[in-house]
Every structure is written in structure tokens, then in C-alpha cells.
Amino acid sequence: MNEKNTKHILSIMVDNEPGVLARVVGLFSGRGYNIESLSVSEVDSHKFLSRVTIVTSGTKLIVDQIKAQLGKLIPVHNLVDISELDSFIGKELILVKLNVKNKKKPDLKEKLKKFGAVILLESNHEFIVQYAGTPEEITKLVKLLKNTKIIEQTRSGLVSMATGTDYIKK
């Protein structure tokens, strides 16, 4: 029973109807499961389907139970444990507002460009930077900015899909 906790990325296709997110989140809180990140948005406006990506962790027993419980929810059409597939991509989005003095701007612009981040807005003392990457890459970007004054930042949950033919059915 002393199995290790492992991280799992669950991709869930659900009916986009009122209360559906409450059903999914309520299942996690009610049964004491972890949600490390959550992201949800409509992906099919004709069939009214939303795709939920949840990053969770637990022993195999727990994660199997989470999947079985999710599968019982009536609005859940399909569920894929993306992290169990051979190859997949997982990205998060970060927006950072930086306080930058004029003399430091060129140097920082260069650094950000090299990293692949985009400056969405530049004003007198401010940059708003956008970057999409794996959670590790985003952590790297935050490290890169450690000598810059970060005014605020916001990160999305992970969105993820498998490569090749392992796609989630509707």
C-alpha cells in the first residue's frame, strides 16, 4: 500500500452545461483528491462540448479510482489519462507584468527574445510579457526574471494533448 504518488494529466470531454465544472471539482473535494491545476474551455460550439484538463497526483489505486469516479458522471463523455500515453505535449501560459527602468530595457528585451517570450505591451516603466511553455520552461522564465521587479503574474492551468493518433474522442 505504500505506493508512490505519481502525477497524472487527465483530459476530460464534458457537456458544456451549467454545473458541470462543479460536478467535476466537487468529486475531487468530496473524495479528498488533489487538483494541482485545472483548465477548462469550450472546444466544440456545435455539440456544446468542453474539454477539461486536470493535473492530479496519487497512488495508482487512487488515480484509477479518480478515473472510474469521473467516468460515472453523466455529463462526462470521454476521459484520457494523457500522461499514460507514449508521447504528449503539455503547455501553460504565463503573463508577467514587469517594472523596468529605461536603461535596462534593451538588455531585458534581448534576453526575453532569446527565451522566446513575447512583449505584449511596453509603457514607460512596464512590460507585459507573454510566454507559453511547459511548466518547467515557465519556471525557468521566472528564474530568468529574478533580478527584475515582477509586479504581478498569472498562469493558466496546463493544457495538453497526445501526439499522433491517441486523440480524445467526443
Partner 1 sequence: MKNLTGAKIVIESLIQENVKVIFGYPGGAVLPIYDELFKQKKIRHILVRHEQAAVHAAEGYARSTGKVGVVLVTSGPGATNTVTGLTDAMMDSVPVVCLSGQVPTHMIGNDAFQEADIVGITRPCTKHNYLVKDVTKLAGAIHSAFFIAKNGRPGPVLVDIPKDIQTFKAIYKGKRLTKKISYYKPSLEPAVDDIDKMTKFLSDSKKPIFYIGGGVINSGSKASVELFKLMKKTGFPCTQTLMGLGAFPMSDKQFLGMLGMHGTYEANMAMYNCDLMICVGARFDDRITGKVSGFSPNSKKIHLDIDASSFNKSVNVDLTVKGDLFKILKLVNDKISKTNITFKNSKYTKWWNQIDKWRARNCLKYKQSKKLIKPQYALQRLNSLTKDLNPFITTEVGQHQMWAAQFIEFNKPKHWMTSGGLGTMGYGLPAALGVQIAHPKDLVIDVAGEASILMNIQEMSTIKQYRLPVKVFILNNNYMGMVRQWQELLHGNRLSESYMESLPDFVKLAESFGATGLRVEKPGDVDDAVKEMINIKGAVICDVVVDPNENCFPMIPSGSTHNQMLLGPNDKVEGEISEEGMVLV
Binding of residue 72 to partner 1 (CB under 8 A): yes
Closest by CA position to 52, among listed 68, 61, 41: 41
Grid cell locating 110: 534581448
Binding of residue 64 to partner 1 (CB under 8 A): yes
Q: How far apart are CA 100 and CA 111, in angstroms?
A: 13
Span 130-149, contacts to partner 1 by CB under 8 A: none
SS (H, E, C) 35-66: CCEEEEEEEECCCCEEEEEEEEEECHHHHHHH
Q: How far apart are CA 128 and CA 150, in angstroms?
A: 10
Q: Would you tell me how many other CB atoms lie within 10 Å of the CB of residue 110?
A: 10
Q: Which is nearer to partner 1, 23 or 109 (CB)?
A: 23
Please identify, among the stretches 16-24, 89-97, 129-137, 143-151, the one whose residues bind partner 1 according to the rule CB under 8 A.
Answer: 16-24
Q: Which is nearer to partner 1, 27 or 119 (CB)?
A: 27
Q: What are phi and psi of 37, to 5 degrees?
A: -155, 160
Site for partner 1 (CB under 8 A): which residue of 75, 105, 142, 156? 75
Binding of residue 32 to partner 1 (CB under 8 A): no
Grid cell locating 143: 528564474
Span 92-121, contacts to partner 1 by CB under 8 A: none
Grid cell locating 38: 485545472
Binding of residue 74 to partner 1 (CB under 8 A): yes
Alpha carbon of residue 44 to chain centroid? 19
Binding of residue 150 to partner 1 (CB under 8 A): no
Site for partner 1 (CB under 8 A): which residue of 44, 61, 120, 125? 61
- Least distance in angstroms from the C-beta of 107 to partner 1: 52
Residues that bind partner 1 (CB under 8 A): 1, 15, 17-19, 22-23, 26-27, 30, 61, 64-65, 68-69, 71-72, 74-75, 77
